[in-house]
Structure 1
Amino acid sequence: MSAVEMILAALRAGAGNPAVAEPYAVLRRRLPPVLDPGAEFDEETLEAARVVLRLAGPRYTVGIHGAEGVQVGDHNVQILLTLPPLSPAA
């Protein structure tokens, strides 16, 4: 993972996550307004990104090809209704 990819992953993982609010704020303060794909980052900025990623916890890749009724994520609710078939119009 490149430095920019790691920082972007940390920004995604930390946005709106109260568990990492403080480390996320530290990372945001260390970044320029626009990330250049070829940018070089100092070790303190990279460490801030590592801290956010470590505290945010693991992310999973879920394969759902061909599946039906799949829920991905936390705190989901699924309600299934079985309805009778429509009768043909008379």
Structure 2
Amino acid sequence: MSENTETKKYFTLSNSNDGQITSRTDLDLIKRKDATVWVMNHIFLNPDEHDPHEISLLMKQVLAYVQESGKKVWPLDPIAIKYFEKHPELNDIWYHRPFTK
């Protein structure tokens, strides 16, 4: 696997009929004291156009990219955090996981 030097990556899903954006997110590569990680700041879901399974479709793309990069992801958006909480199989790539009781 080659070293990825990108520091910003965009993920966009669009409606196949008219090309209208249905969801979008981006990742920023940052260096922390303990690791270099991808930060997911926000997720946009078009309230008029998105599929009920949109978050799963978008996260599939994001997670494939993150796993290929060999780095962890730090989701800050509440939608992304909720997705990670529902998928414990992603714990190994979840950086700075919030405290849970």
Superposition TM-score tier, normalisation by shorter sequence:
under 0.3
Please state which structure has a larger fraction of its residues in strand. 2
Q: TM-score, normalised by structure 1?
A: 0.24
Please state which structure has a larger fraction of its residues in helix. 1
Q: TM-score, normalised by structure 2?
A: 0.22
Which structure's relative contact order is higher, taking Cα pairs within 8 Å and 6+ residues apart?
1
